[in-house]
Amino acid sequence: MLWALCEDDLTLSELAQLIGVSPTVASQLLSRLRTAGVLQTNKSGRHVIYSMHDELSRQFIRQTLDFAAHRLALQESVAEQLH
């Protein structure tokens, strides 16, 4: 969800569909992220558009997710070598 929002501003239904959860679950997650100051919302007609709060948040999330992906790949590599 965060990676998608780093790439583009999205509606609740777009995010729910993208990550494969119900709109209710997506709404709960988005609410927590908004309360934490990570996301902001803007209205466009009847739709609420979710976006990263600012460029610093966007960069932090990208770096964190890149680091996590790197660590996971490293762990998988070590696990393969042990088997």
| Tens-place pLDDT, residues 53-62 | 999 989 999 9
Using CA atoms of 48, 60, 72, 23 in order, give the dihedral in degrees to the nearest 10: -10
- pTM for this structure? 0.75
User: How many independent structural domains does the chain possess?
Assistant: 1
| Tens-place pLDDT, residues 12-66 | 999 999 999 999 999 999 999 999 999 999 999 999 999 999 999 899 999 999 9
Give yes or no for a contact between 25 and 61, defined as CB atoms under 8 angstroms apart: no
Where residue 56 sits, what CATH number does that domain have? Answer: 1.10.10.10
Name the DSSP class of 8: -
Contacts of 23 (CB under 8 A, 6+ apart): 12, 13, 16
Residues 37-62, buried b or exposed e (16+ Cβ, 10 A)?
ebbeeeeeeeeebbbbeeeebbeebe
- Structure token digits, residue 75: 């762990």
Domain that holds residue 26: 2-82
